[in-house]
Every structure is written in C-alpha cells, then in structure tokens.
Amino acid sequence: MKVFFAFGFLILIAFLGSRFLFRGKKFLTPTNYFILSGLIYVFLGIVLGKHGLNVLSPEVLKGLHPLISLGLGWIGFLFGFQLEFRYLRRFPRKFIGLSFLQSFFVFALVSLSFAWILSVLFSSQPSYLLYGMAVAFGLLASLSSPTLLNFATSMLPRKGDYYYLARFLVSVSGFWAVSGLILISSFWRYPFSAQKIFLEGLILFSSLLLFALLIGSVFHLLTRKRAREQDVFVFLLSLVFFASGAAFFFNLPPLCVCMVMGVTLSNLTRIQEKIYPLLLSAEKPFYITFLILIGALWELDFEYTIAILVGLIVILRVIGFSLPLKPVGGLLDFPYPLPFRFGLCFLSPGGIAVAFAISIKLMYPLPLTDIFFSAALLSIIISEFVSPWALKISLLRLESEE
C-alpha cells in the first residue's frame, strides 16, 4: 500500500509542479533558472526520502524503480528524437567538428585528471574500477544542456552567429557522452584483461543497438498510416516503457537504449510535427517525478573526498569548454573568432547529466559509484547556479558586441 500511496503522491506533485512552478521567469538570475531547471525537486526528494519524512523509503523506492527506468527512457528518447539527420545536415560540417573536438577535449582533460586523483584518494580500490570511474566523470563533464539558452533567448538583443553556434553545440553535445555510456555499459564490467570480456562486451553492445533499432522501426511501422494523436501517444508511451524496462532488466542503460530508439524513429518517420508536441506535453510530469526519485535515492554523505572531486570537476569544465576554442577554431577555419569566454555559455549540464549520473549508479551499485553519484549531483547543482552568470559574461555580451 505504501508504494501506491507514494505513486499517487508523486503524480499529484508532478501535476502541480508542471502547472505552476515551471512557468517562465522574466529575469535571468541563478534562483529563477534553478527553479526553471527543475533541480529544486531533487531537494524535495531528499525531504520525502529516508533522510526526511521517509515517505519514499528504500522499500518504496525499490517498488518505484520502474518509474526511474521510464524517466531515463523518456529523457533518452526525447534527446535522441531531436537528432534528425535532415535537420543536422543544414549546419556546416565545421559545427559538428567543433562539437566533437570540444567534447573530446573536456572528456580527455577530466578523465586524465580524475584517473590520477582517484588513484590517490582511493588507492585501495582496483585500478579498473578507478579508471572506469574516471572515464565516467569525463563523459559527465562533457555534457551541456540547451535549457539555459532557451530560457535566455528572449533576453538577447539580437541572435547572431554565436547564438546559433551555441544552440547547435548544446543540442548535440549529449550524443557523444551518451554514446560513451553505451561503451561503458558494454565493457566496464570486469578488468579488461579478463577472459572473453571483449567478446561479452561486443555482444552487449550489439544487442543494445539492435534492440533499440528494432523498437524504433516497430514504432515507425505502427504509425506509418494515419493515426490519431491519442493512438500515437499510447504507442509512444508503451514502447518507451517496454524498451526502458527491458534495458533495466538486463542491466543496460535505458537512457542509451531509448536515445538510439529516438534517433532511429526520428530519421524514419515523417510525422515529427505530430510526435514532438506529444513528447513535450508529457516531459514536465515525467521529469518532476524522475527528479524527486533521484533526490530520494541520494545517499547524503559529504566527505572531504567528495568536496575535492566536486571542486575539481567544476574547475576543469570551465577550462575544458573555454581553452580549446581558439586553436580548434583556427584548425577548422571558422569564419569568425571563438574567444575563450564563449565557452562559458556551455556550463549548464541540465537533466541529461542527472540521467547520466543515475545510470552509472544503477548499473554499478558499489560504494565507489555512490561517491560518483554524490559528486556528480553536487557539481551539477553548482554548475546550474553559476551558469546564468557565466552566460551573461559570454554569449549575451558577445551578441551585443557583434
């Protein structure tokens, strides 16, 4: 009965939250943006969890794991559905090159730095766990969200080259990180030198892609003929639930499976204009429920090691997004300069980063990944607070000076 009570309570909160607290704000301030980003619901989850009122106790959370799986799948599908090739090819190839090189630089900088610091802080842990965790931190750090730019669009005096480049970069940066998560989920199971680990990882990798491609194709066939919006939404919800649940059962990341499914469908279907509004209409309730459950799952354990990791990842993200812009811009022969401060508009990690962090925790329930999850959430919260200020001194000024 507790599970049903908690489920009903979450639905009520999601309804009220999506109706009132997600309304747009007029001013770009850290507080306004933090409320708009939805991360305030993580703290509500802490209050409702075992560290607070215990409405979402560990036993109840175990029964609500399918909701977490559905939330991950919905976020992945929504992100993947935006990656339509017909849309992306409108942009110059230089944009894709900059996106990859910038994400790779952040990933490499953070991964190498964390490989060293983790070996110092957790010297008793097996090296393959530490290196895998360093890779996970690197992928997490490379994530950016378009939410902040969407929030600030009306505040731009004009929309020039920097704005459209930034919109493109934040829209596709998650693809590289989630693709890396596919590789982690396939191969980071045992020491890489273990017998048949490469073969087993290759089987998992192939199975994940084939399953997602199959489900995306099935949805396309179901909606190929004219279908009512109600039918499309039912098909969509059921297939995302099925795909995310199956991935969760086989200990694969629903975020990745449903992203590939979304990419597949987006490039097969011709009814994007019908599907996308349905996705957006259901996004807020799912997202609120997801964030509350994330907060309830969070093991609040503030240690000096976590503080070190949080400070390091925040600093390295600032360096990683800013430092390579000038040399990479020169390498790709960009028609306009890319100053260092332009990189400050990519500091908002958004909900995709939260989904990435919980995916690692759920796939590998270890004390070390609890530390990863705490450090990841705290760094995301700090980044969301400072990102409006960083955007003001980067993109808003660049657009006004252009």
Instruction: Give the span between the Cα atoms of 129 and 194, in whole angstroms.
Output: 13
Q: What is the amino acid identity at position 389?
A: W
pLDDT at 193: 46
Q: What's the confidence (pLDDT) of residue 39?
A: 81
- Looking up tokens 């175990």 gives 62
The pTM of this model reads 0.89
Query: What are the residue ranges in the chain where pLDDT is below 50?
Result: 1, 192-193
Give the phi and the psi of residue 86 in degrees, each rounded to 5.
-60, -30
The whole-angstrom separation of Cα 394 and Cα 249 is 44
**Cα separation of 328 and 322, whole Å?**
11
- Give the 3-state secondary structure of residue 187: helix
Count Cα neighbours of 7 within 13 Å in the Cβ-side half-sphere: 13
Q: Give me the domains of the chain, ranges plus CATH numbers.
A: 2-18+29-401 (1.20.1530.20)
pLDDT at 4: 56
- Vertex 188, ends 184 and 194: CA angle to 5°? 145
CA distances to 56, 154, 246, 315 from 284, in Å: 20, 21, 24, 31
**How high is the pLDDT of residue 221?**
79
* pLDDT tens per residue across span 346-391: 999 988 999 999 999 888 888 888 999 999 999 999 998 889 888 8
Residue 102 and residue 277 in contact, taking contact as beta carbons nearer than 8 Å: no
Residue-wise pLDDT tens digits, 251-286:
788 998 889 988 888 888 777 777 777 777 777 788
Looking at 216-350, which runs of residues are DSSP E strands? none
**pLDDT score for 26:** 57
Write the DSSP symbol of residue 126.
-
